[in-house]
Amino acid sequence: MSSPQPHVRLTALELAERALRRPSSTIWLHRVRVGTRSFDDALQFYVGTLGLTLRAVELDPADPTRFRAMLTDAEARDVLELVESPGTEPGLTSGVGALAFALPRRAWQALRVRLATQEHPFAVVGDALSFTDPDGLTLYVEALVEAP
């Protein structure tokens, strides 16, 4: 089996084969935990503007005095955990420089229109959109190259 092309998702079978061949190299990012000073605004942004799906809003198991939201991608995988963080809490936002996502070209163009319609400032950098979330965290959304 040849190595995958950039930005091409492997099938479940291809992933399983890779795991069997090289188990030490098989690691997946489970999710990113991001603190937000404005929980409602951040939730609206990531669901309403970016297009992630809200799976749950619940008390944060790490600190039951605050809420967290679990957001999923198009394949129903948890990818982002938004955590209510009124102050600057070490470990929640301090180590995250940016979040990067990818979308098929048509969905990428729809996001670009949504950002413009909502008057959310953004820049086009090559094949990527660059903008910030309500807390100022930089996001990049790259347009995927679609197979012919």
**Contact status, residue 133 vs residue 41, Cβ threshold 8 Å:** no
Integer distance in angstroms from the first to the last C-alpha of the chain? 20
Can you list the domains of the chain with their CATH numbers?
28-144 (3.10.180.10)
Q: How far apart (Å, rounded) are the C-alpha atoms in residues 97 and 133?
A: 12
Q: How far apart (Å, rounded) are the C-alpha atoms in residues 2 and 17?
A: 12
Q: Which residues, in sequence order, are CB contacts of 26 under 8 Å at separation 6+? A: 15, 18, 19
What is the per-residue pLDDT across 102-115, written as a single tens digit (0 to 9) for each? 888 888 999 999 99
Q: What is the mean pLDDT of residues 6-23?
A: 65
Q: Is the pTM of this model over 0.75?
A: no
Q: Which pLDDT band, with edges at 50, 70 and 90, does 23 fall under?
A: low
Q: For residues 93 and 59, which has the higher predicted lDDT (pLDDT)?
A: 59
pLDDT mean across residues, the chain = 82
Which neighbouring-strand residues pair with 128?
A: 125, 142
